[in-house]
Every structure is written in structure tokens, then in C-alpha cells.
Amino acid sequence: MEQYKAEFIEFMVDCKVLKFGDFVTKSGRKTPFFINTGFYRTGEQLRRLGGYYAKAIADRFGTDFDVLFGPAYKGIPLSVAASIAISTQYGADIRYCSNRKEIKDHGDKGILLGSPIEDGDKVVIIEDVTTAGTSIGETLPIIKAQGDIEVLGLVVSVDRMERGQGSKSALREIHEKYGLETASIVTMADVVEHLYNRPYKGEIIIDDTLKAAIDAYYEQYGAEE
């Protein structure tokens, strides 16, 4: 596993973004792990988060694109932090853009926040965690309504590797339905590999009992390859 992936997993633990226990997802699934990106709350945390996203974006899509689009609301700080990091780490000046939930009819009118999207632009979409892929179905029409746009793909922080609306993973479904390339900073397989029976700050975070619960969850909800 690449060093930045291992660091990102520990970073999620430190920020209390990645938690283990008994949770219920929006879709009603009982899960032994939960990822809440709302716990990235400080400037330093956002600086580091942007850097991890920048690395994943550059690895998968390069930096020869024009706009980093973060769907409202969680995607707004992600697009800002990652575009700053891409500039700092790779010297590429990428524009950031997000959508508003409600269209403004005064002042800075329209549905977009940040940079406009124009004919010929290449766009990468940035999100936190994609479970069902429903937000992409809402986001793509907004982007494509702006003109002759090429959407290169989607990057998320963690691939949960579970079924979306069918038997395949949400990211695989997005790829097949919309033709988008997808990427993640890490997968849940990376998380388990790095934390299982390995002390971190004096604690075993994924022990045999938790590993069995995770395995059982994937037996029920794991995606087909």
C-alpha cells in the first residue's frame, strides 16, 4: 500500500471521521463502520484532506483539466481544499465550482458557485463517500447544461465496496451507467488491511471480533467484482 494511503487511513481515525461500532446507513443497512466527513473541521485538517485528494486526482486523472466540481453541500469545501492543494503540489491552477441547492435570482445569479463552466471545459467531480450514486444523477445534468463539457470522472475519499442499487458497487454502477472513470483515495479493503491487528497509538482498532463483523457485513452487502 502506498504511504499516503496508510497516512490517510490514520488521519481519518485521528479526525474521528472513520468510526467502528453499530450504525445504520441511510439505506437502512446495519453496518459495523461509518464514515462521517463532517468531522473534518479545522483549517489544518482541510489542508491535509485537500492534499490526499490532490494525490488521488493526479494519480487517476492527471492535472490537465479545467474545473473541479464539488456538489453541494459537502463537496463545496472539498473542491476548494483540493484545488488549492493541486496548485500547491502540482503547480496546476484548476478552477473550483459547486452548485447551489436553490437558484439565486439576485446578485450573483444562477445555480453555480465559484467558477463558471464553459464550452470545452474538462471537469472532475469530487465527493466524500458514494453509497448509492444518486447524487451523480443530480449533478451531471447541472454540469452538462452549462455547455459542451467533458466530465472526466469522479473521485471520492473512501470506496465502501458495497452494493449500490444493484449487485455491483456504487462506483462500478456509476462507471457503467454514465461512462465516468472513478477513483478513491482508499478502499475499505485498504482500511482493513492497514488496521487489522496492527497497533495504532497503542490500540488495536480492528481486532478479530470487529474483523468478523466487517466480513459478515460484506457477506451480505459486498459488491460483485
Does 130 belong to an annotated binding site?
yes
Q: Which of 4-8, 102-106, 120-124, 145-149 has the lowest mean pLDDT?
A: 102-106
Does 73 belong to an annotated binding site?
yes
Neighbouring CB atoms inside 10 A of 123's CB total: 21
pLDDT for 101 equals 77
Q: pLDDT, tens digit, for every residue of 10-61? A: 999 999 999 999 999 877 889 999 999 999 999 999 999 999 999 999 999 9
Asked if 168 and 223 count as a contact pair (C-beta separation under 8 A), the reply is yes
Does 100 belong to an annotated binding site?
yes
Q: pLDDT, tens digit, for every residue of 64-120? A: 999 999 999 899 999 999 999 999 999 999 999 999 877 656 555 578 999 999 999
Domain containing residue 95: 3-221
User: Considering the entire predicted model, what is its pTM?
Assistant: 0.93
Out of 30, 55, 104, 144, pick the active-site residue. Answer: 104
pLDDT for 110 equals 77
Q: Which of 86-90, 116-120, 157-161, 166-170 has the lowest mean pLDDT?
A: 166-170
Q: Residue 111: give its domain's CATH number.
A: 3.40.50.2020
Asked if 160 and 129 count as a contact pair (C-beta separation under 8 A), the reply is yes
- Residue 168 is a catalytic residue: no
Please spell the DSSP secondary structure of 186-209, one letter per residue: EEHHHHHHHHBT-EETTEESB-HH
Burial class (CB in 10 A: 0-12, 13-18, 19+), 22: exposed
pLDDT for 133 equals 64
Asked if 69 and 143 count as a contact pair (C-beta separation under 8 A), the reply is yes
Average pLDDT over residues 126-154: 88
pLDDT for 224 equals 78
Asked if 180 and 151 count as a contact pair (C-beta separation under 8 A), the reply is yes
Neighbouring CB atoms inside 10 A of 10's CB total: 15
Band of pLDDT at residue 135, cut at 50, 70 and 90:
confident
Does 223 belong to an annotated binding site?
no
Out of 19, 106, 144, 194, pick the active-site residue. Answer: 106
Does 131 belong to an annotated binding site?
yes
- Of 223, 185, 139, nearest to 17 by C-alpha is 185
Q: C-alpha grid cell for residue 218?
A: 460484506
Highest mean pLDDT among 24-28, 106-110, 135-139, 154-158: 154-158
Q: Which residues contact 47 (CB under 8 A, 6 or more apart)?
A: 81, 84, 85
- Residue 122 is a catalytic residue: no
Say how many domains are in the chain.
1
Q: Is 193's pLDDT higher than 60?
A: yes
pLDDT for 109 equals 54
pLDDT for 29 equals 87
| Helix, strand, coil percentages, rounded to 5, for the chain | 40, 30, 30
Beta-bridge partners for 144: none
Q: Under DSSP, is residue 44 helix (H, G, I), strand (E, B) or coil?
A: helix
Q: C-alpha grid cell for residue 191?
A: 482500511
